[in-house]
């Protein structure tokens, strides 16, 4: 269909335009197209058609670029970037006293910011003013009216800021041009296009009202004939209803409509699709069109792309299809761009990816922002860690992991002076500590130097700055750290993207703060803190996107559906055809007025037409694809559009993976050679030396998979006698071991190797809350001092309950005050200890007193926090060095929370205080993965022998739960005989329990001997536990470097 103001129309229009091109008169036709990509493609097409491929002027514009040029004839145009628009929107919210959006005056969630910015841009594009919005409020009520009223105020402020700074968005430019008189417009047009006689617009499916007004004005220019070509099929409203609305609008403006069909550009599907796709009234029988359409189904998104890559590789290799004759497109390309890069690189397919990249996803930009965050947050630990983990800022004096560990051990949350003061304390003072990090003064000094060096670098941002000073200092920082050179060195495969991200970032912040200066009469006198600049910078970065410069004619084009409209390729792959991706789910705009909101019907109609347009881009064969699953679990449904297409086409599925004889990538060749153990497959690809290396790797991998626990170096068995390991493991036969270390080895030798031999430490941020371990230590200290005082002052808890309670709570308050816990969440921890809502009866301490008062046995609490091995008590109490009688010279160290003694019968009990109250079961005790209770019993027996010069027998090992729950709190005996408790057993059973405890001690010592032997012999295989997932793997921090899943999967 053609729309024009002319009262007559000839079907020869395209012939006239074609003749002008062939006769070198390209300057007489102005083409209007919907996208810049179509403009570039059309220009190339015209050049190819002109005589000798020589042409000087080819007028091709989009409606916006035309409006931009008309506006700029007399005055330069300053277009607002996405970054500037986002910053101005935040300012617009801050300018107004708002109730519904009161939280937005401080910070606006990025998602909401983007939605409102896009909404306001659409308002401008559609010519909607704030006055118009306010007049529309009568249709709403309640909080909805308040919300929309405030949005209208913000929109008004937003527009005013643009006027104040002389900035423009697309809608502003078209509005300004529409306000030109016809005479002024004609003069400007003639300056720009002196020879143009025909204006031909095509490829569009919709226009905004201001765009229609502009086209109407162009149609009235003297000496110009305007033709608008719309793809339209009168008998298919299911597809063309939106186009029909456009036709009606133009006809109201005095345009005439004439039937007209453009040639199909080699697309044999075009006419058939326009008649029958989405046409519920008239459906013909399914038509194969000689295999014009094929279907590819992937297991997931990655498999979908792999199959597409294999098919493209086949087309390139077997049919000699040039790569630029192939297009791969998606509606939501962001779901695929990363996968496309990886897979196409792996399969050696040249490609031209046109996705718009978000600035806040690139490491160079992230690194700069992180540096500023450090100073803005006064060296907040997370900000510091982000800087030191960046490849663009590497510490010189210390390892990044050392900095993490120092902060974690010293519980440094923030504050430059806090970092320095805390580190100095451990450097200057003689602190006795077993901790390998905190006892290393050289390491602490190195970490301190790193923090001081970082402060020196960022000090220039500490004081308030003007809008001119900040970008100058930021640019100086970028060059001081040599970012441009580092980008070139570090980028590897993404060099172009990273370079463009840095240059875009520099250009963005330079322009942004230059534009913001216009807001102030004397910008040099206005100074702002770093947080002001950082907030604007983060908003701008989150809103800025950029494209990599396209390489015309290079490789397979990878783009989105919008961008390929009107283009033509031999082979087209339309991917991601699952519901949710395309069509997208309709989501009503929560910030928009109902009058201007898109309806679900209009949303579906628009996406239907977009689908139709993409189908027309193919001239030979079309491939449609979708994934069955998102990842491995979430099932996806095929697009409803695909279902509609199958109603009119016979679509055959392409079973690409059935081509067993094909090898598409070198990685597949290696896998096949490994599976068949056939090095001959690599004969013409690798040298003999490289083949031997690969062969050795294959054999190693095969052994590891088939025999994962065989004594083999690559299964974690280190040869202690080998030249490169000689002497390295000897020290472990005579080391001091804690019980937790031995339990770790018993559970998983490989995890022990990573933690204790390689000393790899998973990153743990310093907690702003009272951590469970610290809570446990605090309760230990309170109960230790209380029980020692009770014993020293000979308090009788039964008769002096109130005095004991006062003593216990006084000790606890003193300990808590010294701990100086300030975080809001640790307030709850204090309440749990001292009493919820001020009630002492509702507290851990009260529960402890209750349990002590309820005791009826003949045991007396005698010793508290008793060390053995190399440890000392807080009061300097000497440790008992245990006689282990082990094969090795190893020693054990630990601290028993409490020992109760029955002096009459010469029995004792050991207690282990635990916040969780989890008690070991018989299986864990026998496996040797729970050694604490049997080792406490063994150690206590020797300690009592040394201290009291008498032999006492082990009556019970008790887990004392300190969990704040009346049901769970208190002592729970680890039962070794038929689940019988010593306290409830008769004399005969008690003897059996004591013997069982002694047997458990003996069994555990043998286990310990075997564990230490394994450690010193270099045996560090994966966990062999049957329930390893439950007991070890589930909470393991080293899953990313462990191959246990390979074994589980067979």
Q: Does pTM top 0.85 for this prediction?
A: no
Q: Predicted confidence band at 175 (pLDDT cuts at 50, 70, 90)?
A: very high
> Residue 556 has what pLDDT?
95
**pLDDT tens readout for residues 825-861:** 356 677 888 888 778 889 999 999 999 888 888 899 9
In angstroms, the CA 358 to CA 355 distance is: 10
The string of pLDDT tens digits covering residues 455-489 is 999 999 999 999 999 999 999 999 999 999 999 88
Q: Which residues pair with 630 in a beta bridge?
A: 634
Class level of CATH domain 360-546: mainly alpha
| Residue 1004 tokens, joined | 């555990």
Do 732 and 720 meet the contact criterion of CB atoms below 8 Å apart? no
Mean pLDDT of the chain: 85
pLDDT at 435 over 70: no
Q: Comparing 524-538, 753-767, 937-951, which segment has the lowest mean pLDDT?
A: 753-767
pLDDT at 560: 93
CATH topology match: 2-76+173-262 vs 293-356+550-654 = yes
pLDDT score at 876? 47
Superfamily of domain 2-76+173-262 in CATH is P-loop containing nucleotide triphosphate hydrolases (3.40.50.300)
The sheet that has 225-229: what strands, in order across it? 60-61, 29-32, 198-202, 225-229, 2-4, 256-258
Token pair 């190195």 is found at 446
Contact 69, 237 (CB under 8 A): no
pLDDT in tens, 706-763: 888 888 888 888 886 676 666 677 777 777 788 888 999 999 999 999 888 887 776 6
Q: How many CA atoms lie within 13 A of 802 on its CB side?
A: 0
Q: Lowest-confidence range among 242-251, 520-529, 674-683, 913-922?
A: 674-683
Would the pLDDT of 315 be above 90?
A: yes
- Rounded to 5°, the CA angle 735-736-737 comes to 110
Higher pLDDT, 547 or 329: 329
Interatomic CA distance for residues 66 and 63, integer angstroms: 5
Does pLDDT of 371 surpass 90?
yes
Answer yes or no: is pLDDT of 784 > 80.
yes
Closest CA to 717 of 683, 750, 680, 751: 750
**Residues 62-79: pLDDT tens digits?**
999 999 999 999 888 899
Residue ranges per domain, the chain? 2-76+173-262, 82-167, 293-356+550-654, 360-546, 666-705, 772-925+946-1005
Residue 170 has pLDDT above 90, yes or no: yes
For the cut 70, the answer to whether the pLDDT of residue 1005 exceeds it is yes
CA distances from 423 to 379, 383, 429 (A): 14, 18, 10
Answer whether 609's CB lies under 8 Å from 274's CB.
no
Q: How far is CA 585 from CA 304, 384, 581, 611, 972, in A?
A: 22, 41, 8, 15, 55
Tokens at residue 898, please?
């409490």
At residue 825, the pLDDT reads 39
Q: In what helix (H) or strand (E) does residue 817 lie, and over which residues does it extend?
A: helix 801-819
Cis preceding-peptide flag for 583 (omega within 30 of 0): yes
Q: What percent of the chain has pLDDT over 70?
A: 87
Instruction: Answer yes or no: is pLDDT of 437 > 80.
Output: no
| pLDDT tens string 632-681 | 778 999 999 999 998 887 887 887 655 556 888 877 777 777 666 666 66
Q: Which one, of 486, 604, 782, 536, lies nearest residue 238 by Cα?
A: 604
Residues above pLDDT 90, as percent of the chain: 44
CB 679, CB 695: distance < 8 Å: yes
What is the mean pLDDT of the segment spanning 901-924? 89
Q: What is the dihedral of CA 438, 439, 445, 448, to 10 degrees?
A: 10
Please provide the CATH number assigned to the domain covering 293-356+550-654: 3.40.50.300
If DSSP codes are grouped into helix, strand and coil, which group holds residue 1033?
helix
Pairing relationship of beta strands 736-738 and 198-202 according to DSSP bridges:
unpaired
Please, which residues bridge with residue 914 across strands? 961
Cα dihedral sign for 900, 903, 904, 906? positive
Quote the DSSP letter at residue 753. I
């Amino acid at each position: 269909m053609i729309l024009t103001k002319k009262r007559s129309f000839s079907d020869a229009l395209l012939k006239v335009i074609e003749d002008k091109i062939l006769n070198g008169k390209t300057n007489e036709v102005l083409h209007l197209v919907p996208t810049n990509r179509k403009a570039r493609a059309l220009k190339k097409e015209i050049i190819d058609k002109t005589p000798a491929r020589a042409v000087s002027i080819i007028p091709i514009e989009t409606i916006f670029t035309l409006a931009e040029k008309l506006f700029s004839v007399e005055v330069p145009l300053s277009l607002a970037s996405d970054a500037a628009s986002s910053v101005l929107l935040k300012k617009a919210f801050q300018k107004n006293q708002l109730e519904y959006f009161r939280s937005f005056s401080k910070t606006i969630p990025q998602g909401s910011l983007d939605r409102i910015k896009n909404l306001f841009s659409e308002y401008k594009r559609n010519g909607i003013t704030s006055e118009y919005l306010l007049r529309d409020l009568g249709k709403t009520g309640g909080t909805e009216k308040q919300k929309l009223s405030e949005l209208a105020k913000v929109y008004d402020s937003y527009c005013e800021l643009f006027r104040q700074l002389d900035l423009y968005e697309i809608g502003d430019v078209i509005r300004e041009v529409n306000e030109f008189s016809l005479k002024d417009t004609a003069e400007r047009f003639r300056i720009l296009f002196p020879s143009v006689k025909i204006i031909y617009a095509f490829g569009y499916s919709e226009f905004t009202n201001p765009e229609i007004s502009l086209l109407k004005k162009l149609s009235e220019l003297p000496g110009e004939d305007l033709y608008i070509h719309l793809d339209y099929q009168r008998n298919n409203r299911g597809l063309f209803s939106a186009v029909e609305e456009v036709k009606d609008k133009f006809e109201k403006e005095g345009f005439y409509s004439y039937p007209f069909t453009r040639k199909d550009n080699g697309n044999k599907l075009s006419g058939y699709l326009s008649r029958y796709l989405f046409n519920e009234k008239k459906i013909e029988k399914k038509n194969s069109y000689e295999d014009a359409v094929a279907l590819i189904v992937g297991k997931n998104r990655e498999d979908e792309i792999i199959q597409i890559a294999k098919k493209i590789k086949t087309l390139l290799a077997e049919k000699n299809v040039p790569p630029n004759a192939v297009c791969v497109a998606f509606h939501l390309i962001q779901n695929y761009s990363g996968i496309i890069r990886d897979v196409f690189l792996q399969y050696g397919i040249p490609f031209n990816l046109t996705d718009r990249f978000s600035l806040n996803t690139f490491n160079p930009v992230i690194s700069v922002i992180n540096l500023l965050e450090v100073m803005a947050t006064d060296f907040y630990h997370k900000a510091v860690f982000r800087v030191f983990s960046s490849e663009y800022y590497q510490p010189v004096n210390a390892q990044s992991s050392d900095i993490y560990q120092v902060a974690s051990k010293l519980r440094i949350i923030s504050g430059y002076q806090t970092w320095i003061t805390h580190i100095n304390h451990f450097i200057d003072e003689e602190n006795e500590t077993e901790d390998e990090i905190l006892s290393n003064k050289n390491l602490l000094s190195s970490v301190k130097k790193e923090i001081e060096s970082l402060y020196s670098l960022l000090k220039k941002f500490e004081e308030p700055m003007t809008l001119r000073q900040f970008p100058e200092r930021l640019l100086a920082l970028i060059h001081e750290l040599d970012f441009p050179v580092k980008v070139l060195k570090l980028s590897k495969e993404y060099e172009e993207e990273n370079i463009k991200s840095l240059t875009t970032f520099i250009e963005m912040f330079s322009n942004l703060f230059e534009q913001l200066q216009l807001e102030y009469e004397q910008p040099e006198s206005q100074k702002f803190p770093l947080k002001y600049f950082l907030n604007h910078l983060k908003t701008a970065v989150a809103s800025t996107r950029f494209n990599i410069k396209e390489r015309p004619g290079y490789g397979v084009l990878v783009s989105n559906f919008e961008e390929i409209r009107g283009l033509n390729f031999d082979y087209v792959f339309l991917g991601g055809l699952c519901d949710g991706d395309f069509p997208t789910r309709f989501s009503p705009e929560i910030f928009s007025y109902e009058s201007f909101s898109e309806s679900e019907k209009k949303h579906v109609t628009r996406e239907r037409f977009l689908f139709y347009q993409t189908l027309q881009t193919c001239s030979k064969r079309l491939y449609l694809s979708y994934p069955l699953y998102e990842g491995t679990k979430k099932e996806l449904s095929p697009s409803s559009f695909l279902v509609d297409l199958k109603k009119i086409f016979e679509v055959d599925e392409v079973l690409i993976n059935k081509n067993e004889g094909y090898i598409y990538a070198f990685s597949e060749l290696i896998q096949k050679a490994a599976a068949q153990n056939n090095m001959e497959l690599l004969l013409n690809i690798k040298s003999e030396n490289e083949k031997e290396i690969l062969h050795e790797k294959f054999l190693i991998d095969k052994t590891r998979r088939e025999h994962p626990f065989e004594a083999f170096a690559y299964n974690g068995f280190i040869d202690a006698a080998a030249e490169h390991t000689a002497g390295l493991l000897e020290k472990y036969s005579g080391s001091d071991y804690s019980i937790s270390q031995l339990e770790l080895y018993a559970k998983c030798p490989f995890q022990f190797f990573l933690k204790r031999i390689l000393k790899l430490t998973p990153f743990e941020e310093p907690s702003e809350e009272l951590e469970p371990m610290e809570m446990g230590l605090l309760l230990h200290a309170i109960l230790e001092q209380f029980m020692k005082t009770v014993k020293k002052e000979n308090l009788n808890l039964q008769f002096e309950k109130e005095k004991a309670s006062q003593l216990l709570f006084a000790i606890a308050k003193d300990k808590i005050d010294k701990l100086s816990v300030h975080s809001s969440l640790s307030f709850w921890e204090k309440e749990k200890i001292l009493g919820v809502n001020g009630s002492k009866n509702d507290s851990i301490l009260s529960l402890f007193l209750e349990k002590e008062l309820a005791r009826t046995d003949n045991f007396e609490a005698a010793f508290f926090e008793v060390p053995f091995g190399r440890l000392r008590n807080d009061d300097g109490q000497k440790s008992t060095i245990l006689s282990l009688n082990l094969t090795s010279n190893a020693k054990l160290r630990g601290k028993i929370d409490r020992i109760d003694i029955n002096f009459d019968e010469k029995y004792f009990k050991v207690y282990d205080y635990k916040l969780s109250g989890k008690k070991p079961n018989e299986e864990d005790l026998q496996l040797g993965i729970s050694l604490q209770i049997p080792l406490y019993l063994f150690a206590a027996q020797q300690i009592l022998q040394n201290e009291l010069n008498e032999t006492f027998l082990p009556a019970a090992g008790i887990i004392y739960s300190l969990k704040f729950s009346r049901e769970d709190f208190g002592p729970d005996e680890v039962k070794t005989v038929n689940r019988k408790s010593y306290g409830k057993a008769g004399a005969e059973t008690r003897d059996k329990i004591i013997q069982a405890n002694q047997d458990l001690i003996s069994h555990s010592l043998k286990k310990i001997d075997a564990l230490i032997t394994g450690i010193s012999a270099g045996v560090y295989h994966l966990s062999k536990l049957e329930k390893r997932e439950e007991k070890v793997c589930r909470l393991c921090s080293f899953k990313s470097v462990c191959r246990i899943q390979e074994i589980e999967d067979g």
